[in-house]
A = this chain, B = another copy of it.
Amino acid sequence: MPPEVSSAGEPPARLTPTSYVVLGLVRMIEPASPYGLKKLLDISVGDFHPVPHTTFYVEPARLAKLGYLDETQEESGRRRKAYSLTDKGREALDDWVGDPEVEPTQLRSPAMLKVFLGADPAPLARSALAFHEGLLAQLEALLEHRGAEMDEGPRLALETGIQYHRLWCEQWKRLGAAGGERD
């Protein structure tokens, strides 16, 4: 007897890490709009779990159908939707966060892949440096201005993000300087 085979065309009830990102962000700014969630992501865990904006229009609706979120809609004008956690949602989030089981951290770096395959690091270093320095500046500013009032989790994540981008900056400086620097 095949266990737990999902029937016909039902939407899958499974929660992915992205689902928990949504639940977690909603908790921070409920009642939350999709756009608000996207903006919050960009200045928070975007570094550790990127999510495209379109997902915030789809996933919360799905989570609402599954009973993890409450959905309300404006009557007037834009008829925007706003989400907040249900008890079920809060519980699911706490359970997941409390479970120390995690998949390993993973990295995907097309630039380093090219270096590995023999590319001249110098031009890659230029754009990579710009990228990481830009983010670093943003994160450092955020820590300075908001650090004091942040909860511990977000602050630790922010500090780690800063260290992460610093590493890349150092690394790309070395890579750009080494190797075949023809100018």
* A residues adjacent to B (C-beta < 8 A): 17, 20-21, 24, 44-45, 47-50, 93, 96-98, 100, 102-119, 121, 123-124, 126-128, 131-132, 151-154, 156-157, 160, 163-164, 167-168, 170-171, 175, 178-179
Contact = CB atoms under 8 A, between A and B. Distances in A.
Q: Label chain A's interface by main secondary structure.
A: helix
Contacts of A104: 128, 131
Interface centre among A49, A109, A175, A178 (most CB of B within 10 A): A109
B157 A49 contact: no
B118 A97 contact: yes
Given A24-B116, A167-B164, A171-B163, A123 B100 contact: yes
Given A98-B119, A153-B115, A49 B108 contact: yes
Given A160-B171, A167-B164, A179-B156, A97 B110 contact: no
A93 B117 CA distance: 9
Contacts of A17: 110, 113
